[in-house]
Structure 1
């Protein structure tokens, strides 16, 4: 009996400790979810404020300033409504419509309002309002008076209200338009539907709420939709409990607390100046149960029996936990499909069985094309929903004896343990491709999906799982590169073929034998016509093949680990050339592209420092260029590396701007001083309206962040003239000069004579294109 009592006490102590640990674990999970959600919402406030100030700084809106330049609109107090929309008002509305595209699924209405409360232009869900629908009573709106009292550069973010234009619960962002007199002559205003924040408060395991501390009301709740058709004078949200209101009034970030049987964690949303919203994210889940002995009788026998029962329960629960953990280790968390580990296990068994029975098995490796565009454009919530829809469609399309798996990212695989022959496997793959090309409906959007499918068969392409998977992978990447849809593996496609290995060996030898040369393309100041620097571009002077372009050997270097030595070789040659120019009396800044692999290499800053010291080159004459995607792949690590490089005095550029996805908060934090607009937008800006808007917006964004702006791909005089009118700082392209060897570049700089022709810069004496 004494032993049983000791057992009961021991088990009780263990259970109590386990409950304390479980509560700590629950608190940590709730804190993580609440903190991340609050950070995402804080990112919205920060980004909305930045976009509002960027929009207000547009010359398009300054055309309405009463004290503006000749030809601008002189406003009066009269509420006159023109029969047709003024061209300037139309341009302003189009600019706001483009703002909606930039902030997709967020902005539901945007407008420009004068100091008398008259709307000058309005856009609702991308549709420009006709003149007769423009309001002249906006001065009574809740956001109007607080905004008109603000100085320039401040943004008022209003409490939730029902929008008279969209009929939705919204919050708004409004900033004054201040004229030359220093007085606001109007304001720019846009509304954001509260339902657009629902992706941030969606979590299958927890209930997430946004609470406004000032009003004591729930802004948004993951378990309750907002009223879709509220009255304009409706009370917003339900009030929080008195206990929670008291708790938040004392501290907007209290420790996790149990309220009404729910464990709750609180995280204040980072706010900005003039924001009427004081939001706190509240994440809740059922609290951990009380002490087990509270309901037990005092009898020792009962305690012993309870202890034994708990031990049995613990053993069963442990066994069930092991089963759940094993299942979790074999399945994909997002889609519930088998993961790579389970697929490999089933493939091993299918191949072993097929070899004994003389059967043919096949693997279809599927990679979704342009899936990143869905994440970048609509957000990761849409991307996750799309992946789940793809998983469901694939599962329904194949037999129960087949295995549909998700390998990670946007990559899926199908194991066909028994197929008749290769044509039958191709038929299955083409049927799968046709199914994926049918539109998917994701949160109200019709999304088109394409895919690339690699096919490998056993025993034709291998009899081991890793051999078959590698063969399917090679075929898939070749199908993606050639846009062939479905492709069966052939030995000639193998990326590790003798020819590729030979090229890799030759590249290593080229680095040792100095076969790589640098070409330089000038960067020219738009206003002054002077050379501001040069971009270094590597070429391979192959002893047998001649001049090999970078597209033929850079991918080989990226995939083999040679990219770091290749980058250091390029840096060494570029720094040496910049020092030679400096010694000759020409201080020319040289720019070198930095690979994503190099940016995360911890020794890069120190290697660059040693390189500059060895050649005696001032750090300001070296510029490193990296793309948006390079930074966003690992923002925190990239920020640390760039800060070290910037502290050395090295200049930093964001290259190919507009083709990736930048977080506004990271773009502000990066220690860059130059932004390069991608050539694809510059080359088509005169023919494509959206490209022109993007170029103009990028120039405005760069200047508002204090950055110089470079336009690549300038191919003609008309584009150069347009860029000058938009205020671009520096240009680069074939219209000025093609990339050339260092000696030709030196001659070009010395002999060129910039001449102003009709307000533009032309170049005389440039060497022939190479």
Structure 2
């Protein structure tokens, strides 16, 4: 005798809700699978498969409890557990197959088939787990329909999984998808139940009793909601606590480098053009070193607060470390990037008032535009970084758009960096000497030793190219040691030939950091048997923004040896006028920037003020870049008598310098002779 069952409406509704909530949880975890790496990714993969599998199984089990035949029904524990494993394992395999960023239709077909087969297996194993006084058979048409619905539901689940794995936020679209997915899963279950046929033996007496085991129902329901709540709790904790720690900068509250990498991971393969703006604060290290890291952190915080105004829509700002920030602009062209760069530069250069300090700071921005499909993230970031350094080299407080020409320059820079070490080993460096002339006594006032590089393939490389590279790599230290040795030995030779003049050598701030400069100079002077007063060291104004007290201490020790010290390029650096009375120096060298603009009354007023100040401090003043007689007349009128420049002599080799000395020694300097020599 065939038996028809009935359903408890409330429990049916509960099963539908379970399916919807399980679907939503699985879709939410999908985003974690996509954005995680390593063991964390594997953890979220297992979690997603577990939530999806147990959610479908829970809906099935509650649906089974909603069905009753007015007869006692129990369940085989092992088959019940096996049905749950079938659902979880099939979900895991399907998610694992479709986990890569790029999947084809074959993987999609295999994944959907495995998940659908797992759901069918779960359902019908669960049916077999029923212990009851009936025989069970199935209507083949409805059985086939239930299997088709299971496959459709599985493909829908995977498509939604792929759709939402790049979307971490909660949205109405995700809820709508969960509802559709939940009803699809329930449709498979209840179609399968409709296919079931229950037969009892003829004449068998049936008890008019409900088949619902309420304690079991409550236990299963509580367990289901505990599983869902734990999964949601893990996601909420990950989103609001761990994600904040992992993806948010602690000082500015802006997204950090990890979040930037997540953006690239999410949009990998996209052909839309994006703009990368790499922002680096100018002279931030000087503020950190002089005012302390606490003020530096507060300044970075204030900069981050100003940059927040530029976050909207398809435009995001990241702090990627130190004083470096990165803008990513989707659907970007060069005009939009330049407009944004101008706005950013105008914003950050406004005054900052931090704990009684009034700070001014600017920024340099490098811009690179391209698509992630055309080039990987490293190329985009590298080109933006290259353009940023180009902007710094052009004078800071500006932006620069990356071009192929800049790329060629960067390749050359990398080649020079690679060849610098070899150049030192293969004696490719040489020294050129430029004379200084005292117009008051009409006599030679000394020489400046200038390092030059004869590259075997590129020819003579400008110091403006290789000195900054040497500074960055630290090779400036052995290069300066070599220059000191060569200059001191050459000076000793000239003294032996009756040319009693000192030689000056430029020093990098890097030489003060190991605190070995004094010992170096002593050793070099001893090796060359040169009296200390024949050596002059030239420092730059920028040194005052490092550990100025330590530099002053080292310079005082060096001067006690008898070595002279001069400040090079004065007036173009960081305005060290307030420290001039403390700095242990003997001379100021006016940068050629002033000399080349002597016809400007403002420049002449500045030079005159510098000369008067130097006189008060008993400092010599040496003008660089003197190229014509008009320069000389202006400088003499203002009280500057020591000059250096092409009018007197270009940088020359030691042999050329000897010829120059022979032409000018003993008879004073003749401008006409100099002019003919420099032609």
Structure 2-normalised TM-score?
0.54
Distance of aligned partners of 1:443 and 1:627 in 2 relative to their CA distance in 1, 3 Å threshold: closer
Q: Deviations over 1:229-269 (max 9, x none)?
A: xxxxxxxxxxxxxxxxxxxxxxxxxxxxxxxxxxxxxxxxx
Distance of aligned partners of 1:332 and 1:676 in 2 relative to their CA distance in 1, 3 Å threshold: farther
Distance of aligned partners of 1:649 and 1:738 in 2 relative to their CA distance in 1, 3 Å threshold: same
C-alpha separation in 2, matches of 1:644 and 1:561: 24
**2:540 maps to which residue?**
627
Residues 467-486 of structure 1 mapped to structure 2, 5 A cutoff = 469-481=381-393, 485-486=399-400
**2:620 maps to which residue?**
708
C-alpha separation in 2, matches of 1:352 and 1:443: 36
Q: Does 1:646 align with 2:559?
A: yes
Aligned residue among 412, 428, 452 for 2:325:
412
SS of corresponding position for 1:588:
coil
**2:677 maps to which residue?**
768
* Structure 1 residue 574, shift from structure 2 partner: 0.8
**1:345 maps to which residue?**
258
Q: Deviations over 1:105-160 (max 9, x none)?
A: xxxxxxxxxxxxxxxxxxxxxxxxxxxxxxxxxxxxxxxxxxxxxxxxxxxxxxxx
**1:531 maps to which residue?**
444
**2:474 maps to which residue?**
561
Distance of aligned partners of 1:389 and 1:754 in 2 relative to their CA distance in 1, 3 Å threshold: farther
SS of corresponding position for 1:768:
helix
Residues 186-585 of structure 1 mapped to structure 2, 5 A cutoff = 331=249, 336=252, 338=254, 342-355=255-268, 363-367=276-280, 394-399=307-312, 402-406=315-319, 411-416=324-329, 419-420=330-331, 424=332, 426-436=334-344, 442=351, 451-455=364-368, 459-460=372-373, 469-481=381-393, 485-488=399-402, 493=407, 497=411, 499-585=412-498
SS of corresponding position for 2:328:
strand
Distance of aligned partners of 1:754 and 1:678 in 2 relative to their CA distance in 1, 3 Å threshold: farther
**2:5 maps to which residue?**
none
* Structure 1 residue 612, shift from structure 2 partner: 0.8
Q: Does 1:751 align with 2:663?
A: yes
Distance of aligned partners of 1:434 and 1:548 in 2 relative to their CA distance in 1, 3 Å threshold: closer
SS of corresponding position for 1:504:
helix
C-alpha separation in 2, matches of 1:611 and 1:479: 39
Distance of aligned partners of 1:754 and 1:386 in 2 relative to their CA distance in 1, 3 Å threshold: farther
* Structure 1 residue 627, shift from structure 2 partner: 0.8
* Structure 1 residue 432, shift from structure 2 partner: 0.3
C-alpha separation in 1, matches of 2:491 and 2:253: 55
SS of corresponding position for 1:668:
coil
Distance of aligned partners of 1:655 and 1:413 in 2 relative to their CA distance in 1, 3 Å threshold: same
C-alpha separation in 1, matches of 2:439 and 2:246: 59
Aligned residue among 645, 653, 673 for 1:741:
653
**1:599 maps to which residue?**
512
Distance of aligned partners of 1:641 and 1:460 in 2 relative to their CA distance in 1, 3 Å threshold: farther
Residues 145-224 of structure 1 mapped to structure 2, 5 A cutoff = none
C-alpha separation in 2, matches of 1:374 and 1:632: 8
Q: Deviations over 1:397-441 (max 9, x none)?
A: 33167432456787532234xx24xxx254542230242466876
C-alpha separation in 2, matches of 1:668 and 1:363: 46
Distance of aligned partners of 1:489 and 1:715 in 2 relative to their CA distance in 1, 3 Å threshold: closer
C-alpha contact 2:257 2:319 (8 A) present in aligned 1? no
C-alpha contact 2:485 2:524 (8 A) present in aligned 1? yes
C-alpha separation in 1, matches of 2:338 and 2:314: 19
Distance of aligned partners of 1:478 and 1:677 in 2 relative to their CA distance in 1, 3 Å threshold: closer
* Structure 1 residue 368, shift from structure 2 partner: 6.3
C-alpha separation in 2, matches of 1:327 and 1:739: 58
C-alpha contact 1:622 1:651 (8 A) present in aligned 2? yes
Distance of aligned partners of 1:658 and 1:391 in 2 relative to their CA distance in 1, 3 Å threshold: same
* Structure 1 residue 720, shift from structure 2 partner: 1.5
Distance of aligned partners of 1:462 and 1:752 in 2 relative to their CA distance in 1, 3 Å threshold: same
C-alpha separation in 2, matches of 1:741 and 1:603: 29
**CA RMSD across the alignment:** 4.3
**1:59 maps to which residue?**
none
* Structure 1 residue 618, shift from structure 2 partner: 0.8
C-alpha separation in 2, matches of 1:544 and 1:462: 31
C-alpha separation in 2, matches of 1:653 and 1:737: 21
Comparing both structures, which one devotes a greater share of its residues to helix?
2
Structure 1-normalised TM-score?
0.48
* Structure 1 residue 635, shift from structure 2 partner: 0.9
SS of corresponding position for 1:541:
strand
Distance of aligned partners of 1:329 and 1:586 in 2 relative to their CA distance in 1, 3 Å threshold: farther
* Structure 1 residue 527, shift from structure 2 partner: 1.0
**1:611 maps to which residue?**
524
Q: Deviations over 1:264-311 (max 9, x none)?
A: xxxxxxxxxxxxxxxxxxxxxxxxxxxxxxxxxxxxxxxxxxxxxxxx
C-alpha contact 1:351 1:361 (8 A) present in aligned 2? no
C-alpha separation in 1, matches of 2:406 and 2:640: 48
C-alpha contact 1:337 1:405 (8 A) present in aligned 2? no
* Structure 1 residue 569, shift from structure 2 partner: 1.8
Distance of aligned partners of 1:346 and 1:693 in 2 relative to their CA distance in 1, 3 Å threshold: same
**1:659 maps to which residue?**
572
C-alpha separation in 1, matches of 2:584 and 2:247: 41
Distance of aligned partners of 1:356 and 1:678 in 2 relative to their CA distance in 1, 3 Å threshold: closer
* Structure 1 residue 516, shift from structure 2 partner: 1.7
Q: Deviations over 1:725-750 (max 9, x none)?
A: 32224111122222211122122223
C-alpha contact 1:579 1:617 (8 A) present in aligned 2? yes
Residues 54-203 of structure 1 mapped to structure 2, 5 A cutoff = none
C-alpha contact 1:605 1:641 (8 A) present in aligned 2? yes
* Structure 1 residue 768, shift from structure 2 partner: 1.9
* Structure 1 residue 755, shift from structure 2 partner: 6.8
* Structure 1 residue 596, shift from structure 2 partner: 2.2
C-alpha separation in 1, matches of 2:593 and 2:270: 55
Q: What is the count of residue pairs matched by the alignment?
A: 426
C-alpha contact 2:566 2:587 (8 A) present in aligned 1? yes
> Considering only CA atoms, is the larger Rg found in Structure 1 or Structure 2?
2
**2:638 maps to which residue?**
726
SS of corresponding position for 1:728:
coil
**Structure 2: runs of 5+ lacking an equivalent:** 1-240, 289-294
C-alpha separation in 2, matches of 1:734 and 1:624: 22
SS of corresponding position for 2:256:
helix
**1:141 maps to which residue?**
none
C-alpha separation in 2, matches of 1:396 and 1:574: 55
C-alpha contact 2:511 2:517 (8 A) present in aligned 1? yes
C-alpha separation in 2, matches of 1:327 and 1:451: 29
Aligned residue among 573, 593, 597 for 1:684:
597
Q: Tell me which of the two structures has the higher relative contact order, counting C-alpha pairs closer than 8 angstroms and 6 or more residues apart.
A: 2
Distance of aligned partners of 1:675 and 1:479 in 2 relative to their CA distance in 1, 3 Å threshold: closer
C-alpha separation in 2, matches of 1:698 and 1:646: 23
* Structure 1 residue 374, shift from structure 2 partner: 13
